[in-house]
Protein backbone atom coordinates (compact mmCIF):
# COMPACT_ATOMS: atom_id res chain seq x y z
CA UNK A 1 0.00 0.00 0.00
CA UNK A 2 1.22 3.52 -0.84
CA UNK A 3 0.54 6.30 1.67
CA UNK A 4 1.42 10.00 1.54
CA UNK A 5 2.13 11.41 5.01
CA UNK A 6 1.88 15.19 5.40
CA UNK A 7 3.79 16.61 8.37
CA UNK A 8 6.02 13.54 8.32
CA UNK A 9 9.03 15.21 9.96
CA UNK A 10 7.08 16.07 13.11
CA UNK A 11 6.67 14.44 16.51
CA UNK A 12 3.84 12.20 15.31
CA UNK A 13 4.96 11.97 11.70
CA UNK A 14 8.25 10.35 12.63
CA UNK A 15 6.40 7.71 14.65
CA UNK A 16 4.19 6.95 11.64
CA UNK A 17 7.25 6.46 9.45
CA UNK A 18 8.82 4.16 12.04
CA UNK A 19 5.61 2.19 12.53
CA UNK A 20 4.80 1.63 8.87
CA UNK A 21 7.58 -0.91 8.40
CA UNK A 22 6.94 -3.24 5.50
CA UNK A 23 3.17 -2.68 5.58
CA UNK A 24 3.25 0.44 3.43
CA UNK A 25 5.40 2.42 1.07
CA UNK A 26 5.50 5.96 2.44
CA UNK A 27 5.92 9.24 0.57
CA UNK A 28 6.93 11.71 3.28
CA UNK A 29 6.00 15.39 2.88
CA UNK A 30 7.16 18.34 4.95
CA UNK A 31 8.06 21.98 4.45
CA UNK A 32 11.80 21.60 3.93
CA UNK A 33 15.06 19.93 5.03
CA UNK A 34 15.10 22.01 8.22
CA UNK A 35 11.88 20.37 9.38
CA UNK A 36 13.79 17.09 9.82
CA UNK A 37 16.36 18.61 12.18
CA UNK A 38 14.11 18.86 15.24
CA UNK A 39 13.82 15.12 15.93
CA UNK A 40 16.91 13.81 14.15
CA UNK A 41 18.74 13.27 17.45
CA UNK A 42 15.92 10.98 18.62
CA UNK A 43 14.53 9.42 15.45
CA UNK A 44 17.58 9.58 13.19
CA UNK A 45 17.41 9.98 9.43
CA UNK A 46 14.69 8.41 7.33
CA UNK A 47 15.84 6.70 4.12
CA UNK A 48 12.53 6.69 2.25
CA UNK A 49 11.01 9.04 -0.32
CA UNK A 50 10.82 12.65 0.89
CA UNK A 51 9.03 15.58 -0.76
CA UNK A 52 9.66 19.17 0.36
CA UNK A 53 7.10 21.86 -0.32
CA UNK A 54 4.41 24.26 0.81
CA UNK A 55 1.14 22.59 1.76
CA UNK A 56 -0.72 25.76 0.82
CA UNK A 57 0.31 25.26 -2.84
CA UNK A 58 -2.30 23.10 -4.56
CA UNK A 59 -0.06 21.88 -7.38
CA UNK A 60 2.62 20.73 -4.94
CA UNK A 61 0.05 18.81 -2.90
CA UNK A 62 -1.46 17.26 -6.04
CA UNK A 63 1.94 16.01 -7.17
CA UNK A 64 2.56 14.57 -3.71
CA UNK A 65 -0.63 12.50 -3.56
CA UNK A 66 -0.46 11.31 -7.18
CA UNK A 67 -0.32 7.52 -7.34
CA UNK A 68 -1.01 7.04 -3.65
CA UNK A 69 -3.66 4.76 -2.14
CA UNK A 70 -4.29 6.81 1.02
CA UNK A 71 -3.23 10.01 2.77
CA UNK A 72 -2.40 10.72 6.41
CA UNK A 73 -2.52 14.42 7.29
CA UNK A 74 -0.67 15.45 10.45
CA UNK A 75 0.66 18.85 9.33
CA UNK A 76 -0.19 21.75 11.62
CA UNK A 77 0.87 25.32 12.29
CA UNK A 78 0.51 26.43 15.89
CA UNK A 79 -0.58 30.09 15.96
CA UNK A 80 2.00 32.35 17.60
CA UNK A 81 2.79 36.04 17.58
CA UNK A 82 0.46 38.54 15.93
CA UNK A 83 -2.73 36.47 15.74
CA UNK A 84 -4.77 39.46 14.54
CA UNK A 85 -2.77 39.91 11.35
CA UNK A 86 -0.97 36.64 10.60
CA UNK A 87 -2.83 34.63 7.93
CA UNK A 88 -0.44 31.67 7.97
CA UNK A 89 -2.21 29.54 10.61
CA UNK A 90 -5.43 29.78 8.62
CA UNK A 91 -3.66 29.08 5.34
CA UNK A 92 -1.63 26.10 6.58
CA UNK A 93 -4.34 24.54 8.72
CA UNK A 94 -7.42 25.19 6.55
CA UNK A 95 -6.25 25.84 2.99
CA UNK A 96 -3.61 23.15 3.49
CA UNK A 97 -6.16 20.53 4.50
CA UNK A 98 -8.53 21.58 1.71
CA UNK A 99 -5.65 21.10 -0.75
CA UNK A 100 -5.05 17.60 0.62
CA UNK A 101 -8.71 16.59 0.48
CA UNK A 102 -9.42 18.09 -2.92
CA UNK A 103 -6.21 16.78 -4.48
CA UNK A 104 -6.98 13.32 -3.10
CA UNK A 105 -10.50 13.51 -4.52
CA UNK A 106 -9.28 14.46 -7.98
CA UNK A 107 -6.67 11.70 -7.88
CA UNK A 108 -9.30 9.11 -6.98
CA UNK A 109 -7.95 8.46 -3.47
CA UNK A 110 -10.74 7.23 -1.23
CA UNK A 111 -9.10 7.31 2.22
CA UNK A 112 -7.83 10.41 4.05
CA UNK A 113 -6.89 10.28 7.74
CA UNK A 114 -6.70 13.62 9.52
CA UNK A 115 -5.15 14.12 12.95
CA UNK A 116 -6.99 16.82 14.84
CA UNK A 117 -6.95 17.46 18.56
CA UNK A 118 -9.50 17.69 21.32
CA UNK A 119 -9.79 17.88 25.05
CA UNK A 120 -10.48 14.51 26.66
CA UNK A 121 -12.91 15.59 29.34
CA UNK A 122 -15.66 17.96 28.22
CA UNK A 123 -15.87 21.00 30.54
CA UNK A 124 -19.67 20.74 30.59
CA UNK A 125 -19.61 17.09 31.63
CA UNK A 126 -20.72 15.72 28.24
CA UNK A 127 -19.47 12.44 26.84
CA UNK A 128 -17.30 13.09 23.81
CA UNK A 129 -18.57 11.15 20.81
CA UNK A 130 -18.30 11.97 17.12
CA UNK A 131 -21.13 14.50 17.31
CA UNK A 132 -19.98 16.35 20.44
CA UNK A 133 -17.90 19.39 19.62
CA UNK A 134 -15.09 20.81 21.72
CA UNK A 135 -15.52 24.24 23.32
CA UNK A 136 -12.10 25.67 22.43
CA UNK A 137 -12.33 29.24 21.19
CA UNK A 138 -8.75 30.16 20.34
CA UNK A 139 -7.36 30.24 16.80
CA UNK A 140 -5.89 26.76 17.08
CA UNK A 141 -9.06 25.24 18.51
CA UNK A 142 -11.28 26.86 15.91
CA UNK A 143 -8.98 25.70 13.09
CA UNK A 144 -9.20 22.15 14.41
CA UNK A 145 -12.99 22.28 14.59
CA UNK A 146 -13.26 23.61 11.05
CA UNK A 147 -10.89 20.90 9.85
CA UNK A 148 -13.21 18.24 11.26
CA UNK A 149 -16.17 19.71 9.41
CA UNK A 150 -14.16 19.88 6.21
CA UNK A 151 -13.45 16.14 6.45
CA UNK A 152 -17.10 15.43 7.18
CA UNK A 153 -18.16 17.53 4.19
CA UNK A 154 -15.88 15.68 1.77
CA UNK A 155 -17.45 12.44 2.94
CA UNK A 156 -21.00 13.76 2.66
CA UNK A 157 -20.45 15.49 -0.68
CA UNK A 158 -18.19 13.00 -2.46
CA UNK A 159 -18.34 9.76 -0.50
CA UNK A 160 -14.67 10.00 0.49
CA UNK A 161 -13.63 7.82 3.40
CA UNK A 162 -12.46 10.29 6.04
CA UNK A 163 -11.24 9.46 9.53
CA UNK A 164 -10.60 12.22 12.07
CA UNK A 165 -8.49 11.16 15.04
CA UNK A 166 -8.71 13.24 18.20
CA UNK A 167 -5.69 12.90 20.46
CA UNK A 168 -5.20 15.05 23.53
CA UNK A 169 -1.53 15.41 24.55
CA UNK A 170 0.96 13.27 22.63
CA UNK A 171 3.89 11.81 24.57
CA UNK A 172 6.44 9.05 24.03
CA UNK A 173 6.03 6.35 26.68
CA UNK A 174 9.16 4.56 25.47
CA UNK A 175 11.42 7.58 25.97
CA UNK A 176 9.49 9.05 28.87
CA UNK A 177 9.20 12.51 27.33
CA UNK A 178 6.48 14.81 26.07
CA UNK A 179 6.08 16.85 22.89
CA UNK A 180 8.35 19.59 24.28
CA UNK A 181 10.98 17.11 25.51
CA UNK A 182 9.89 17.48 29.10
CA UNK A 183 10.46 14.45 31.30
CA UNK A 184 7.29 12.59 32.26
CA UNK A 185 6.41 11.58 35.76
CA UNK A 186 6.48 12.84 39.35
CA UNK A 187 8.76 15.80 39.88
CA UNK A 188 8.56 16.88 36.25
CA UNK A 189 5.48 16.58 34.01
CA UNK A 190 2.84 14.85 36.14
CA UNK A 191 0.66 12.11 34.69
CA UNK A 192 -2.72 13.18 33.35
CA UNK A 193 -5.64 11.37 31.79
CA UNK A 194 -5.33 12.87 28.31
CA UNK A 195 -2.00 11.36 27.33
CA UNK A 196 -1.45 9.09 24.35
CA UNK A 197 1.84 7.57 23.27
CA UNK A 198 2.84 8.80 19.83
CA UNK A 199 3.49 5.22 18.69
CA UNK A 200 -0.07 4.20 19.56
CA UNK A 201 -1.44 7.24 17.74
CA UNK A 202 0.78 6.42 14.76
CA UNK A 203 -0.65 2.89 14.71
CA UNK A 204 -4.17 4.34 14.77
CA UNK A 205 -3.27 6.49 11.75
CA UNK A 206 -1.94 3.52 9.83
CA UNK A 207 -4.87 1.26 10.68
CA UNK A 208 -7.30 3.98 9.62
CA UNK A 209 -5.42 4.53 6.34
CA UNK A 210 -5.40 0.84 5.56
CA UNK A 211 -9.05 0.27 6.44
CA UNK A 212 -11.47 -0.25 3.57
CA UNK A 213 -14.87 -0.22 5.23
CA UNK A 214 -14.91 3.07 7.14
CA UNK A 215 -17.11 5.85 5.77
CA UNK A 216 -16.63 8.77 8.13
CA UNK A 217 -15.51 8.53 11.74
CA UNK A 218 -14.41 10.95 14.45
CA UNK A 219 -12.48 8.98 17.05
CA UNK A 220 -10.64 9.85 20.25
CA UNK A 221 -7.21 8.27 20.63
CA UNK A 222 -6.21 8.51 24.30
CA UNK A 223 -4.08 5.85 25.94
CA UNK A 224 -5.17 5.93 29.58
CA UNK A 225 -7.80 3.57 30.93
CA UNK A 226 -9.80 6.38 32.54
CA UNK A 227 -10.34 8.09 29.18
CA UNK A 228 -13.04 5.61 28.15
CA UNK A 229 -15.34 7.14 30.75
CA UNK A 230 -15.19 10.53 29.03
CA UNK A 231 -14.69 9.99 25.28
CA UNK A 232 -15.27 7.38 22.57
CA UNK A 233 -11.99 5.46 22.93
CA UNK A 234 -13.95 2.20 23.08
CA UNK A 235 -15.32 2.89 19.60
CA UNK A 236 -11.80 3.69 18.39
CA UNK A 237 -10.66 0.26 19.50
CA UNK A 238 -13.68 -1.38 17.89
CA UNK A 239 -13.51 0.42 14.53
CA UNK A 240 -9.75 0.32 14.06
CA UNK A 241 -8.86 -2.83 15.98
CA UNK A 242 -6.38 -0.70 17.90
CA UNK A 243 -4.54 -2.00 20.95
CA UNK A 244 -2.86 0.59 23.16
CA UNK A 245 0.62 -0.63 24.00
CA UNK A 246 2.23 2.45 25.54
CA UNK A 247 2.85 2.02 29.27
CA UNK A 248 1.61 5.32 30.68
CA UNK A 249 0.92 3.97 34.15
CA UNK A 250 4.61 3.98 35.01
CA UNK A 251 4.52 7.78 35.08
CA UNK A 252 1.82 7.99 37.75
CA UNK A 253 2.75 9.24 41.17
CA UNK A 254 3.21 6.33 43.59
CA UNK A 255 0.29 5.66 45.87
CA UNK A 256 0.64 7.14 49.33
CA UNK A 257 0.63 4.74 52.28
CA UNK A 258 -2.30 5.31 54.59
DSSP string covering 125-178, please?
S--B-TTPPP---SHHHHHHHHHHHHHHHHHHHH--EEEEEE-SEEEETTTTEE
Q: What is the mean pLDDT of residues 202-206?
A: 98
Helix axes of 198-210 and 11-20: crossing angle, nearest 10 degrees = 60
- State mean pLDDT over 70-89: 92
pLDDT digits (tens, 9 = 90+) for 1-53: 999 999 999 999 999 999 999 999 999 999 999 999 999 999 999 999 999 99
Tell me the average pLDDT across 89-105. 97
Residue 38 CA, chain-centre distance (Å), reads 18
Average pLDDT value for residue range 184-188: 93
Question: pLDDT grade, residue 255 (50/70/90)?
Answer: low
Stretch 201-220: mean pLDDT: 96
CA 138 to chain centre: 19
Is the model's pLDDT at 196 over the cut of 80?
A: yes
Residue 51: CA count within 13 A, CB half-sphere: 20
Chain segment 102-143, per-residue pLDDT in tens: 999 999 999 999 999 999 999 999 999 999 998 989 999 999
Beginning with the edge strand found earlier in the chain, give each strand of the sheet holding 177-178 in spatial order.
Answer: 177-178, 169-172, 195-197
Residue 92 CB-half CA count within 13 A: 18
| The pLDDT of residue 82 | 85
For residue 114, count other CB atoms closer than 10 A to its CB: 27
Name which of 73-87, 151-165, 175-189, 211-225 the model is least confident about. 73-87
Residues 143-172: tens digit of each pLDDT: 999 999 999 999 999 999 999 999 999 999
pLDDT at 199: 98
What pLDDT does 81 receive? 84
Percent of the chain with pLDDT over 70: 98
The predicted pLDDT at position 234 comes to: 98
The DSSP result for 187-237, as a single string, is TSB---TTEEEHHHHHHHHHHHHH-SS--EEEEE---SGGGGGTBTHHHHH
Q: Please name the residues in contact with 60: beta carbons below 8 A apart, sequence gap of 6 or more.
A: 51, 53, 54
Q: Is the pLDDT of residue 87 over 80?
A: yes
Q: What is the CA radius of gyration of the chain?
A: 18
In order of their start, the domains of the chain are 2-251 (3.40.50.720)
Which one is predicted more confidently, 257 or 140? 140
Q: Give pLDDT, residue 258.
A: 47
pLDDT of 152 reads 97
Q: What is the pLDDT of residue 256?
A: 57
What's the pLDDT at 41?
97
* Residue 2 host element (H or E): strand 2-6
Amino acid sequence: MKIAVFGSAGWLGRAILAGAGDRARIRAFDRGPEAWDEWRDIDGDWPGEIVHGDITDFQTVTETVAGMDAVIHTAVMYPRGDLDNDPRPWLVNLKGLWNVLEAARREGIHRVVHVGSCMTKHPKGLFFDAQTRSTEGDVYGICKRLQEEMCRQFHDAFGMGTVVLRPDYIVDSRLGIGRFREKLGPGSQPWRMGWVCRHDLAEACLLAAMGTTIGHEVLHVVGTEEAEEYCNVARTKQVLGLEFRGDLDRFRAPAQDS
